[in-house]
Amino acid sequence: MITLTINGLKVQVEEGTTILEAARFLGFPIPTLCHQEGLSPYGACRLCVVEIGEEPKSKLVSSCTYPAEEGLVVRTGSKRVVNARKMIIELLLASCPQSKTIQDLASAYGVRRQRFRQEHEDCILCGLCVRMCSEQMMAKAIGFRGRGKERSVGTPFDVQPDVCRLCGGCMYICPACSLRCTYNEPDKAICNACANLNPPCIQKERFNDLMCYMSPCVACEIDH
Amino acid sequence: MERLRSSEEFETLRQHLFSTIRPEIPMVVIPAGTCGQASGAEKLIRTAQREILAKKLQEKVFLRITGCHGFCEMEPSVLIEPYRTFYPELDADGMQRIIHALADGKMVEDLLYFDPSTGEKIEKQDDIPFFRHQSRLLLAKNEKVDPLNIYDYIKNGGYLAFSNVLKNIRPEAVIDEVKRSGLRGRGGAGFPTGMKWKFLADAENKNGKYIVCNADEGDPGAYMDRSLLEGNPHSIIEGMLIGAYATGTDSGVIYVRSEYPLAIKHLTVALKQARHTGLLGTDILGSGFGFDISIVKGAGAFVCGEETALMRSIEGRMGEPRQRPPFPVEKGIYGKPTLINNVETWANIPVIMTNGAEKYTGTGSINSGTKIFSLVGKIKNTGLVEVPMGTPIRKVLYEIGGGQADSTGIKAVQTGGPSGGCIPSSLFEMPISYESFAEAGSIIGSGGMIVMDENTCMIDVAKYFMNFLKDESCGKCFTCRKGTQRMHELLEDISSGKGTMEHLKLMEELAIVMKDTAMCGLGQTAPNPVLSTLKYFKDEYIAHIENKRCPAGVCKALIRFSINENCTGCGACARICPENVIMGEKKERHVIDSDRCSRCGACRSVCKFEAIDVI
Ligand SMILES: Cc1cc2nc3c(=O)[nH]c(=O)nc-3n(C[C@H](O)[C@H](O)[C@H](O)COP(=O)(O)O)c2cc1C
Ligand code: FES
């Protein structure tokens, strides 16, 4: 067992526990975007940062990937942490304002404006869909490609691969677009991942008894 | 050649090689690294070879092709051993004359180096200010060895340190020696090398461990690692051998940029020769110790130089950093403990083991040893300079570098590549050390030094680096990917005259968050170019924002060209103008139509009368 201090409270956790899990166990809220129970930690969105160590040598780390260490001192809501989170949310809002998840985060943290040039991107590259596909669906149908501004999610060569079972898991888990997907109109679909994947209900002849993750599914509603 | 089976056999080989040295015969040394070849060293080599053959001088003049010696500004150059005569900027004709003169035991006086500061010719390389003020522990060896010939390296004391370590010194004692030498990583962060080795030696693993040489050198304007790899690959192999012995490792990897074909070629040959000689492979020198090195070509991304991304890249996956801990010594390539050191760090190891830690700490004040810098930009003598730690920056720039290239003074020097910052001229007395650079808001990094004068716009510099980083960020971590993009956007606004004071505030806020929350070194240090220019050159930012003026005359949206009364009406500018917007009668003052001018600056570069002003 490892003993660490979170916001002044001592807590004992098993080896291998992340700071995020330990903090949530104690009931301290830490916002996350790219973390999901059941999927491996990834550390991409940086929303879950917490401050570790003693000042002035303290630093911020992503709690979802940082393992609990013996004697570690953690602050989950220090001024530095909150300021960083607000800036991250501002950056998210500037890129992806239509996402309900991000709007909720902004209102929870009192971020009322964003000062950058407004963009409307479909994907925040949190990688949830990629991990969902490979770790839960065992399909590995989608992945990342490119770097920097060119980085995107997609299928190899932008064609629907055989390994894709059209389960819809990627769309179900997406924090940026799941609430705006236009399932049966792939042309209008907004995130790169699902643009290449027709939902199963459209191809009923091929996939009739598939596990479908979409609820509510716009396609089904239109069908009925 | 038989594999050597013991240290004694190695010693016999050494003695044999020594007996073949003929110091009385002059040797023409031609540096032909990538830089040398680009400036025409190949032609000199061909001329020299042809001339020696034609005049049957094989027994009178020897020829050695080496890697870069450092004085790239003066290449293609030639050094004559043992007299150490230095001939800069030669052509085939000059080469021919030198060979003929050498055969008669003479010197070609009019081809010697001309010192612009004293107006005199200098004969010996070691008397030239550029070389005289350096301490060339590593670079001097580039002159001595033909990188394609392992015997050349052995003749110059190569592999002796390793053979001695293997026979007489316990691994722990090697690590202690490296620790005592005070050597710190030359790849960026400056982590104490001995300590890193100790971690690896202590790491238990039955399946093996790795040591890696990081030769991904991606900083714009830095090329010292390339020169070491090209000029003296065996010194890196020897360093890795010593490291492997000290830490109990059996596999090594050299991760080289694929943009360095010559370095890869020389390394491949060197590894092959070392294996043939019995200095790599199983049962090295009959000691039972086995170690081999493979080469992995880089994936062409700057971020692959970051150690965790580099390990993934070696495994054949996408070069993406991951969170540390676990550190590479805990969980590295294929999960095995891994040690990563920079090329220059490895090259320092044989020096330390040959001369001892005391001598090494004696070189350099504050931190120990020397550091190679690549001096580029608006400076007279560009090239590689090696100076002891603790040397003031001024000495590097003015005594070695020869000062500013043009009439305008040096304003600042950018160090440490994209992760570094700008150091203004007011701080040039500062000694070179990891700590002092950090205090000034920059880093030594891998050793790039880009010199800037009054014609350099600091906003443009910051924008350049931010543009580089926004393309090279791996894109995984949100604050790094979006942060660099947004920062670039803000800088672009400022340089195009759309900036406000709000921009500055937002940039500062964003910089703090990027530093705090990015996962790897790339994102954490990405704001440095902006922060350091903001710290020392805020007035330039303000001039761009409040006065809509670019003091250095660089930012196109904020400048205008106009022709003053110096104009003689020669028409050169009008002929070169790609937009055809310069008008005027012959022999009369011309005018520029500013509205249609694309501000390319072509007119300014052709005008012989300084008649074109930037306002
Ligand atoms: C973005 C980034 C790029 C890097 N590029 C290089 C590089 O090109 N060469 C290098 O030796 N180290 C580079 N490093 C530093 C390495 O991560 C590592 O610290 C170094 O290789 C360790 O060797 P050392 O202890 O000998 O300095 C880079 C680091 C970062 C964050
Ligand atoms: S939840 Fe930890 S970085 Fe995204």
pLDDT tens digit string along B446-496? 899 999 999 899 999 999 999 999 999 999 999 999 999 999 999 999 999
A64 CB under 6 A from ligand 2?
yes
Q: What percent of chain B has pLDDT over 90?
A: 87
How many residues in chain B?
615
Q: Which residue(s) pair with B65 in the sheet? A: B30
Rg of the Cα atoms in chain A: 19
Residue among A43, A60, A67 minimizing CB distance to B516 = A60
Nearest CA in chain A to B484: A148
* Of the listed ranges A13-27, A197-211, B127-141, B188-202, the one predicted with least confidence: A197-211
Hey, are the CB atoms on A84 and B476 less than 8 Å from each other? Answer: no
pLDDT of residue A205: 57
Amino acid at B364: G
Cross-chain Cβ contact A88/B476 below 8 Å:
no
Average pLDDT in the B588-595 region? 91
d(CA B551, CA B533): 14
From the CA of B184, give the closest atom in ligand 1. 25
Of A88, A94, A144, the CB nearest to B517: A88
| Res B257: pLDDT | 94
Number of other CB atoms surrounding residue B225 within 10 Å: 30
Q: Is the pLDDT of residue B300 over 90?
A: no
Mean pLDDT for chain B overall: 94
Confidence of residue B325 (pLDDT cuts 50, 70, 90): confident
DSSP state string for B341-391: EEHHHHHHHHHHHHH-HHHHHHSSSSS-SEEEEEEEESBSS-EEEEEETT-
Percentage of chain B surpassing pLDDT 70? 100
pLDDT digits (tens, 9 = 90+) for A134-161: 999 898 988 998 899 899 888 888 777 8
Amino acid at B419: S
Residue whose structure tokens are 């001995």: B194
> Are A212 and A171 a contacting pair, CB within 8 Å?
no
Atom nearest to B190 CA in ligand 1: 27
Mean pLDDT of B87-107: 94
Q: Which pLDDT does position A121 carry in this prediction?
A: 82
Q: Quick one: pLDDT at residue A199?
A: 52
Q: Three-state DSSP class for B133?
A: coil
For Cα atoms B261, B262, B263, give the angle at the middle one, nearest 5 degrees. Answer: 90
Q: Is B312 on the interface with A (CB under 8 A)?
A: no
pTM of the model: 0.91
- Dist. CA B202–CA B513, nearest whole Å: 36
Cα angle value A84/A82/A43 (rounded, 5°) = 55
Amino acid type, B392: P
Backbone angles phi, psi at A37, to 5 degrees: -60, 135
Ligand nearest to the CA of A42: 2
Q: Would the CB of A33 count as within 6 Å of ligand 2?
A: yes
Nearest to A67 among B325, B472, B513 (CB): B325
- pLDDT computed for residue A213 by the predictor: 55
State the Cα–Cα distance between residues A144 and A154, nearest whole angstrom: 7
Cα of A209 vs centre of ligand 2, distance in Å, is 34
Does the CA dihedral B293-B295-B299-B300 come out positive or negative?
Answer: positive
Query: What pLDDT sits at residue A198?
Result: 52
Q: What is the DSSP letter of B335?
A: G
Q: What superfamily does domain B24-81+85-123 belong to in CATH?
A: Glutaredoxin (3.40.30.10)
User: Which among B336, B407, B70 is positioned nearest to B223, based on CA atoms?
Assistant: B70
pLDDT of residue B311: 96
Residue A67's contacts (CB-CB under 8 Å, 6 or more residues apart) are: A16, A17, A18, A19, B325
Residue A160 pLDDT: 75
Residues 16-45 of A with CB under 8 A from B: 43-45
* Ligand 1 atom at minimum distance from B307 CA: 17
Domain ranges of chain A: 2-118+182-213, 128-173
The mean pLDDT value of chain A amounts to: 82
**Both tokens of residue B133?**
């003020």
**Cβ A68 under 6 angstroms from ligand 2:** no
In the DSSP assignment, the letter for residue B399 is I
| Cβ contacts of B516 on chain A, cutoff 8 Å | 49, 59-60, 80, 84
Q: Which residues pair with B563 in a beta bridge?
A: B612
Report d(CA B227, CA B232) in Å as an integer. 8
**Residue A196's pLDDT band (boundaries 50, 70, 90)?**
very low
Query: Per-residue pLDDT tens for B560-570?
Result: 899 999 999 99
Which helix or strand (DSSP H or E) is residue B51 part of? helix B41-54
Query: Which ligand lies nearest the alpha carbon of B187?
Result: 1
Tally of CB atoms within 10 A around B93: 10
Q: Does A130 contact chain B (CB < 8 Å)?
A: no
How far is C-alpha B554 from the chain's CA centre? 27
Q: Tell me the shortest Cα–Cα distance from A61 to chain B, in angstroms.
A: 7
Determine, for residues A144 and B318 on separate chains, whether the beta-carbon distance falls below 8 Å. Answer: yes
pLDDT surpasses 70 at A200? no
Q: How many CA atoms lie within 13 A of B309 on its CB side?
A: 24
Please report where in the chains the tokens 């921009």 appear, as a residue: B503
> B489 and chain A: CB distance < 8 Å anywhere?
yes
Q: How confident is the model at residue B221 (pLDDT cuts 50, 70, 90)?
A: confident
pLDDT score recorded for residue B10: 96
For domain A2-118+182-213, give its CATH number from 3.10.20.740, 3.50.50.60, 3.40.50.300, 3.60.10.10: 3.10.20.740
Contact B517 A148 (CB under 8 A): no
- Is the predicted pLDDT of residue B132 greater than 90, yes or no? yes
Task: Report the C-alpha gap between A193 and A154 in whole angstroms.
Answer: 5
Ligand 1 neighbour B446 (Cβ under 6 A): yes
Cα distances (angstroms) measured from residue B220 to each of B226, B449, B454, B493:
13, 10, 21, 24
CATH class (in words) of the domain with range B458-546: mainly alpha
| Chain B residues touching A66 at Cβ < 8 A | 323, 325
Q: The CATH number of B560-614 is which of 3.30.70.20, 3.40.50.300, 3.40.50.720, 3.40.710.10?
A: 3.30.70.20
CB of A48 closer than 8 Å to CB of A20: yes
Atom of ligand 1 nearest to the CA of B214: 11
What is the CATH code for A128-173? 3.30.70.20
Residue A223 has pLDDT above 80, yes or no: no
Chain B residues whose CB is inside 8 A of the A88 CB are 478-479, 513, 517
Q: Is the pLDDT of residue A221 over 70?
A: no
Residue type, B590: H
Our mutation pick for probing the ligand 2 site, out of A64, A76, A85, counting the most ligand atoms within 8 A of Cβ, is: A64
Q: How many CA atoms lie within 13 A of A131 on its CB side?
A: 17
Whether residues B489 and A117 touch (CB distance < 8 A) is answered with yes
Position A192 scores a pLDDT of 40
| Mean pLDDT calculated for residue range B550-560 | 91
Distance from CA of A75 to the nearest CA of B (A): 14
* A 81-100 near B (Cβ less than 8 A): 83-84, 87-88, 91-92, 94-95
Asked if residue A166 has its Cβ within 6 Å of ligand 2, the reply is no
Residue A45 Cβ contacting ligand 2 at under 6 Å? yes
| B66: alpha, beta or left? (left if phi > 0; alpha if psi -120 to 50) | beta
State the smallest CA–CA distance between residue A214 and chain B in angstroms.
Answer: 27
Interface contact flag, A95 B325, Cβ < 8 Å: no
- What is the per-residue pLDDT for A181? 47
B430 compared with A218, residue with greater pLDDT: B430
Strands (E), chain A: 2-6, 9-13, 49-52, 59-62, 73-75, 143-145, 152-154
Mean pLDDT over residues B157-165, rounded?
A: 96
CA end-to-end distance (rounded Å), chain B: 70
ipTM value for the complex:
0.88
Residue B445: which of B469, B474, B418 has the closest Cα? B418
Record: contact B471-A144, CB cut-off 8 A: no
Average pLDDT of span B67-74: 94
The structure tokens 């090697």 sit at B174
| pLDDT tens readout for residues A77-128 | 999 999 999 999 999 999 988 788 888 999 999 999 999 999 988 788 999 9
Residue A175: closest CA among A83, A44, A75, A55: A44
Confidence of residue A188 (pLDDT cuts 50, 70, 90): very low
Tell me how far apart the alpha carbons of residues B427 and B421 are, in angstroms, rounded to a whole number.
13
The answer as to CATH 3.90.650.10 being correct for domain B150-358 is: no
Q: Which amino acid is at B403?
A: G
> Which residue in A81, A147, A152, A192 has the most chain B C-beta atoms within 10 A of its own C-beta, making it the best mutation to test that interface?
A147
Residues linked to residue B591 through DSSP beta bridges, in sequence order: B583
Query: What is the C-alpha separation between B9 and B154, in angstroms, rounded?
Result: 13
- In CATH terms, the fold of domain B370-453 is Ubiquitin-like (UB roll) (3.10.20)
Q: Are B478 and A91 in contact (CB < 8 Å)?
A: yes
> CA-to-CA distance for B544 and B459, rounded, in angstroms?
9
CA-based end-to-end distance of chain A: 54
Q: Is the CB of A19 under 6 A from ligand 2?
A: no
Q: Whose CA is closest to atom 17 on ligand 1? A: B306
| A175 compared with B19, residue with greater pLDDT | B19
Q: How far is CA A103 from CA A34, A79, A175, A189, B39, in A?
A: 16, 22, 11, 20, 58
| Mean pLDDT (whole number) for B589-606 | 90
CB contact under 8 Å between A43 and B489, yes or no, is no
Kindly tell me the burial class for residue A178, based on how many C-beta atoms sit within 10 Å of its own C-beta (0-12, 13-18, 19 or more): buried
Radius of gyration in angstroms for the set of CA atoms belonging to chain B, rounded to a whole number: 27
Residue A109 CA, ligand 2 centroid: distance in Å: 16
Helix axes of B224-231 and B261-277: crossing angle, nearest 10 degrees: 40
CB pairs under 8 A between A and B: 95
Instruction: Indicate the helix (H) or strand (E) that contains B183.
Output: none
Residue B498 sits at the chain A interface (C-beta within 8 Å) = no
Cα(A64)–Cα(A84) distance, integer angstroms: 16
- Out of A103-117, A157-171, B532-546, which region has the weakest mean confidence (pLDDT)? A157-171
